[in-house]
Structure 1
Amino acid sequence: MDKQPLDEFKDQVRPAIVSKLEEFAILGYEEVSAENLWEFLKNKKWKKTSELSVHEVVQDVLALKIGDFMNYATVKSYKTASWYDSDEAKNLLKGLM
């Protein structure tokens, strides 16, 4: 099979992504978007792979477990969250001074 860069498959595998998002919604995770799912796959699952076959991409999408995605999303939110810059933190720190 012909291997291609990952982003070229995004539209071709959209039905698999939509199916996975519907599965997540049934499990109560309606807030997961197609972009979040694709980002997870690129950054974690395919981190060391730049090219795959379309069937490999579909297989990885359909095999994805919600726990794996939520672990990634939780760690990412901790890394990017800047609570100290929030208004709540500033008000709290102001009260301590």
Structure 2
Amino acid sequence: MVDKHPYEVYFQQLLPVLRSKVEEFRLLNYGTIDIPSLWEYLTKKKWKKPEQDVHIYQLVADIVSTKAIDYMNFATVEAYRSPNWLEEVNHEELQELFRPKKP
């Protein structure tokens, strides 16, 4: 079982700020960012080493100061860490997939 992040208890209280940040990113044409992926970025990257006696205003400040490029860099690295989707495809299937269409 995966351990929960210590700041998970603040999620509901932080939801309005998270929504606002996601909306800001969408206005900047980063439409692929949603609340769960932003939360994942915050818990895995920005809050990787959680503080013992953190105040909610510190978490709000972290969310508000998050830049889209920082999130996108994190998402790119995470995508490279994901499993190889073509790993189970054999050579013949790849050839068929990339075969030019006949007119």
Q: Under TM normalisation by the shorter chain, which class is it? A: 0.7 to 0.9
What is the distance in 2 between the residues matched to 1:77 and 1:22? 23
Pick the structure with more helix per residue: 1
Show structure 1 runs of 4+ deviating over 4 A. 86-90
Aligned length: 91
Percent identity over the alignment is 34
- TM-score, reference length from structure 1: 0.81
* 1:10 match: 11
The answer (yes or no) to whether the contact 1:24–1:30 under 8 Å persists in 2 is yes
Structure 1 residue 83 corresponds to structure 2 residue 85: yes
2:29 is aligned with 1:33: no
Distance across 2 between alignment mates of 1:65 and 1:50: 21
Q: Per-residue displacement from partner, 1:17-46 (whole Å, max 9, x unpaired)?
A: 011001100111112110100110000011
1:50 Cα offset (Å):
5.0
Pairwise CA RMSD of aligned residues? 2.4
Assess if the C-alpha contact under 8 Å between 1:18 and 1:34 holds in 2: yes
Unpaired stretches in structure 1, ≥5 consecutive residues = none
Q: How does the TM-score come out when normalised to structure 2? A: 0.77
Please tell me the residue identity of whatever aligns with 1:57: L
Which protein has the bigger strand share? 1
Cα distance in 1 for residues equivalent to 2:64 and 2:38: 11
Larger Rg: 2
Could you say which residue in structure 1 is the equivalent of 2:75? 73
Q: Relative contact order (C-alpha < 8 Å, sep 6+): which is higher?
A: 1
For structure 2, list consecutive stretches of 5 or more residues without a partner in the other structure. 1-5, 98-103
